[in-house]
C-alpha cells in the first residue's frame, strides 16, 4: 500500500495532508525519514511514525457530529492555547480530525472523523457538498445585493461560486440571512458579506449535506448512524463499507 494511502486510512490525515506531511519530513518508515511520494509499505510489517508517534494502521472508523460552540478552534493544536473542539469529545479514544473548519467565533455543525479518504472528498470542491449557514448581518441587503451574493462575489482569491441566499427575517434594522454554499474557502461567508457591505454579527452552520443539529445543544455530539455514513459515502462516490 502506498504510504500516503496508508496514513489516510489509518486516520492520521486526509491523503492530501498526508502527502504534505511526507514532503515536510514528518514521516519515518522503519526509522528512516521519507520525503518522496509513492513509497509502498507493508502494513503490519513496516514501522511508520509521524512526528515520532507510531501509526498503528487502519482501525475502527469513527464519525462524530458535533455542535461547535463559539470560542473553540477547529485545529488539532493551537499555539495560543485556546479551547479545541476535539477536547469536547471525551469518550472517544480515536484520533479525530475536523472535516473542514469553522472559525473561532462561528458556531454550529462540525463533523469529526478519522476517515481520511471521506474527509478529503467531503472537503474537495469537486463534490460540491452543500453547507447551510444562518448569518445575522448589519443592515438589510437589498434585492441587488442578494442577487450579487447568489451569482458570486469577487474576493481576493477569486469569484465565489453561485450560492443560495434568502432573508429569513429582519429585526431592529439587521437581517438574518440563510446561505447555502458548495465551496469551502476560508471564512468565505464572512468575507462575502463584508464585501457587499453587510458584515456578520453572528454566524452559525446549521446543515452539512443532509445532516442537521437536531437534538444537540452547544458542546454536545453524537456518532453518525451507519445509514448516515453510507449516505455520505454515496454522495462522494465511495463504496460503503470501504473495500
Active site (catalytic) residues: 103
CA dihedral for 21, 124, 104, 55, sign (positive or negative): negative
Report the interhelical angle of 116-123 vs 226-235 (nearest 10°): 50
Q: Where are the beta strands (DSSP E) in the chain?
A: 27-29, 32-33, 48-50, 53-54, 63-68, 97-98, 107-113, 131-137, 154-155, 158-159, 164-171, 174-181, 200-208, 211-212, 221-223
Sign of the CA dihedral with 182 first, then 187, 193, and 195 last: negative
| C-alpha to C-alpha distance for 112 and 30, rounded to whole angstroms | 30
Number of alpha carbons in the 13 Å side-chain half-sphere of residue 45: 4
Inter-axis angle of helices 15-23 and 116-123, to 10 degrees?
A: 100
Q: Which residues pair with 223 in a beta bridge?
A: 64
Neighbours of 227 (CB within 10 A): 9
Amino acid at each position: 500500500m502506498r504510504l500516503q494511502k496508508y496514513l489516510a486510512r489509518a486516520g492520521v490525515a486526509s491523503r492530501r495532508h498526508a502527502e504534505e506531511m511526507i514532503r515536510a519530513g514528518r514521516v519515518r518508515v522503519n526509522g528512516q525519514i521519507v520525503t518522496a511520494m509513492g513509497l509502498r509499505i507493508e502494513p503490519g510489517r513496516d514501522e511508520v511514525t509521524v512526528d515520532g508517534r507510531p501509526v498503528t494502521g487502519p482501525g475502527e472508523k469513527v464519525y462524530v457530529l458535533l455542535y461547535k460552540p463559539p470560542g473553540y478552534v477547529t485545529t488539532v493544536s493551537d499555539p495560543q492555547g485556546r479551547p479545541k473542539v476535539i477536547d469536547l469529545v471525551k469518550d472517544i479514544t480515536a484520533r479525530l480530525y475536523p472535516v473542514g473548519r469553522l472559525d473561532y467565533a462561528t458556531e454550529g455543525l462540525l463533523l469529526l472523523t478519522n476517515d481520511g479518504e471521506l474527509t478529503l472528498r467531503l472537503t474537495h470542491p469537486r463534490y460540491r457538498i452543500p453547507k447551510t449557514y444562518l448569518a445575522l448581518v448589519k443592515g438589510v441587503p437589498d434585492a441587488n445585493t442578494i442577487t450579487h451574493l447568489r451569482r458570486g462575489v469577487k474576493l481576493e482569491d477569486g469569484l465565489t461560486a453561485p450560492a443560495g441566499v434568502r432573508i429569513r427575517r429582519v429585526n431592529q434594522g439587521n437581517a438574518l440571512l440563510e446561505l447555502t454554499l458548495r465551496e469551502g474557502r476560508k471564512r468565505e461567508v464572512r468575507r462575502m458579506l463584508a464585501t457587499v457591505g453587510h458584515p456578520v454579527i453572528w454566524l452559525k452552520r446549521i446543515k452539512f449535506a443532509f445532516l442537521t443539529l437536531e437534538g444537540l445543544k452547544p458542546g454536545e455530539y453524537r456518532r453518525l448512524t451507519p445509514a448516515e455514513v453510507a449516505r455520505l459515502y454515496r454522495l462522494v462516490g465511495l463504496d460503503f463499507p470501504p473495500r
